[in-house]
């Protein structure tokens, strides 16, 4: 599990949007704006979305060897940036969805009601950031 530096942690708790990159079936990148939350205790990025979204479908498609695919979320603000990368999966567990909504509400605002909401879970194993935040 990765751990963020204090500067990186502050940055991922501020209210900013990010981009999420997942891979389409043909291997090309699918990049969309998202809100996300970081869970420092588990090293997990959570993104809520509709279960029929392209990003959810990409996250559910296992690699040819049966592994979970990889994804990256990148947050940029001026000269500050951070990218969290790792394996991505989709959770439909009601408790996981509720926790993701709770965290999203705390960072951004309460999302609209969506009975088809799922959670993309990126288990981060790589972090890159502006050099001043990396130490």
pLDDT at site 80:
95
Give strand pairing partners of 73: 20, 84
SS3 content of the chain, % helix, strand, coil (to 5): 25, 40, 35
Arithmetic mean of pLDDT, 53-64: 97
Sheet holding 37-39, edge to edge: 29-34, 18-23, 70-77, 80-91, 117-129, 44-50, 37-39
pLDDT at site 134:
87
SS3 call for 64: coil
Q: Read off the pLDDT band of 1 (50, 70, 90).
A: confident
Q: How far apart are CA 32 and CA 105, in angstroms?
A: 20
Domains of the chain by residue range: 6-133
pLDDT digits 0-9 by tens, 68-113: 999 999 999 999 999 999 999 999 999 999 999 999 999 999 999 9
Sign of CA dihedral 90, 93, 96, 101: positive
Q: Read off the pLDDT band of 135 (50, 70, 90).
A: confident
- CATH dotted code for 6-133: 2.30.110.10
pLDDT at site 115:
95
**pTM > 0.85: yes or no:** yes
SS3 call for 100: helix
């Amino acid at each position: 599990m990765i751990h963020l530096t204090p500067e990186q942690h502050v940055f991922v708790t501020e209210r900013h949007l990010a981009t999420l990159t997942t891979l389409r079936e043909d291997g090309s990148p699918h990049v969309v704006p998202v809100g996300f939350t970081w869970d420092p205790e588990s090293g997990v990025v959570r993104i809520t979305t509709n279960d029929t979204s392209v990003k959810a479908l990409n996250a559910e498609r296992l690699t040819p060897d049966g592994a979970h695919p990889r994804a990256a979320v990148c947050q940029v603000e001026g000269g500050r940036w951070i990218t969290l990368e790792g394996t991505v999966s989709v959770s439909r567990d009601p408790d996981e969805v509720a926790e993701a909504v709770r965290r999203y509400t705390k960072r951004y605002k309460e999302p609209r009601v969506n009975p088809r909401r799922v959670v993309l879970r990126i288990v981060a194993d790589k972090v890159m950031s502006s050099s001043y935040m990396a130490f």
